Chains A and B, each alone.
Chain A
């Protein structure tokens, strides 16, 4: 029942979006964005899954498989696994930039509250 995974990804995404929309603490907004990112990882990996198949590695397949059955599609989708790898790296990079900017914002405004920063005093 891979639909369960899809629905979990949707709920993770929604939880993340909810905290981005309703929280005012900048760190919690970044945490919400990270949750939304991880929901895409779960979604991509679940989308790559195929029932009764194995990993897309042509080296020593499990007993009932041979390299030719693997090549003809009895594997998880390697392209989506590649996308997930890409998404993870980009997620890490973007989170790093967010955190660096937050440290500078806090040093300048002395608050983590997004609403007070919006007031742009000084």
Chain B
């Protein structure tokens, strides 16, 4: 058995999930007495992976892979797997990794398990728990094939620091020419994304109108959080679709999720269920969100949020 992990980077810097994945792959390797190889594409400092239990890094540096392309990136990871004779490939649940995953599964003829939420419970055959029914349940899935591709759900495995004697090898890949080309990228670089955020501040119709989002953005800024919203708010056009979290929107798996003026429809709760700690602020003590939350404040957002911002500013200044 050999394990390959695709450690993603952005603008040359490893994402936090790259280290979560490396730690996850290390734990699988230890259970099976094998080693961990990582493949990275245009990462500036591949040696960083020596802190997370990676034995060997295949370092791909190629100007033609400067921006993400699912076809050519899946080919690169596939070639790394072939080179290492890896039968288990571990990737993240980022938008990019989930884009390349099915292409990679076809190339590698691998049984693909998406959204794995913990380490495999057995190895021959391999079974692993994954989230299903949009976080309303878990499914234990067994893989029947020799090759296996696992995508690990966000925030489901903690980074474990472990110093290893890591070797880095330059690895060249065939860049597949293809007809799908990125023409432009429109991305706010100064904002934390919902996918990467440790904290998400989300608001709903209780805010009464888009003009009232200033305090939500301010609260998010104080906490270093991403902003999100409920489905009705995005349907009304108060906030962009990219902020809609819930069953048909984005899933949230942050450490802290703060819901303001959101009643907590079943579809919304499903989407945010993987978040570790949930706080609700709502005027209605019977709002279903209070049953799903860890901490709650019954009160008017327009009174509570500005007070909370001030208190958090004081707290941040002292800590």
The reply to whether chain A is a binding partner of chain B is no
